[in-house]
Amino acid sequence: MTDQPIRILIVDDHTVVRKGLKALMLTEPGLQVVGEAADGEEAVRRARILKPDVILMDMSMPHKDGVQATLEIKQESPDARILVLTSFAEDQKILEALKAGALGYLLKDASPEELLKAIQEVYRGQSSLHPAVAQKVIRAIQHPDAHEAREENALTDRELEILRLIAEGLPNQQIATRLSISERTVRTHVSNILRKLKFPNRTQAALYAVKEGITRKQ
């Protein structure tokens, strides 16, 4: 460990996970939990204020997912050290997180010893990948075409539904009304759709949906 404790921000939408991680950190004199965040938006705000040494970042969260939060934090603070700690081992999520700037990617079934080791490695600016994740990254490097293609299958059912409505020309407010969800939630889904399909705006996403025959189900 270091002379000064490693200051950690824990980001996870499950309270029990945050409290469990904090309890683990309290057993290590070289670690200090300086804050918690329950979603991606709060993570960006807390990172800006607290400037932690290491951020433990969950992937699937409300309002803003871990990839988008990582991207925004790295844009504001290029030296931020982010370790993804998640249950998701899908190739696409791993690559998106690493491209966004995460230094490490660890699964939640890792042992406490593996987590503590990963925190130290990320703090030192080193890459730290779960063995299963490392294998997926190697495969992605060896077969890049399979991961660079735009795949509507990467979208969730809700995202596909919203993409169909975008293709119909509906603005966010009307989509929110149609699906009985908040406009803020629609904006989050639209952001995720554009990121996954690698389009800069909703117009291109709509054209893609029409071209590929992703029309609204009757």
Average pLDDT over residues 11-36: 94
Cβ atoms < 10 Å from Cβ of 172: 19
SS3 112: helix
Q: Tens digit of pLDDT for each residue in 110-160?
A: 899 999 999 999 999 988 887 777 777 766 655 555 445 455 557 888 898
Given this model, what pLDDT does residue 211 score?
A: 76
pLDDT, mean over the chain: 85
What is 6-142's CATH number?
3.40.50.2300
CB 73 within 8 A of CB 43: yes
**What are the extents of the domains in the chain?**
6-142, 150-211
CATH class of 150-211: mainly alpha
In sign, the C-alpha dihedral spanning 95, 96, 101, 102 is: negative
Comparing 6-142 with 150-211, is the CATH topology the same?
Answer: no
CB 105 within 8 A of CB 57: no
Contacts 24+ apart (CB under 8 A), 104-110: 104/128, 104/129, 105/129, 105/130, 105/133, 106/130, 106/133, 107/132, 107/133, 108/17, 110/85
- pLDDT band per the 50, 70, 90 thresholds, residue 14: very high
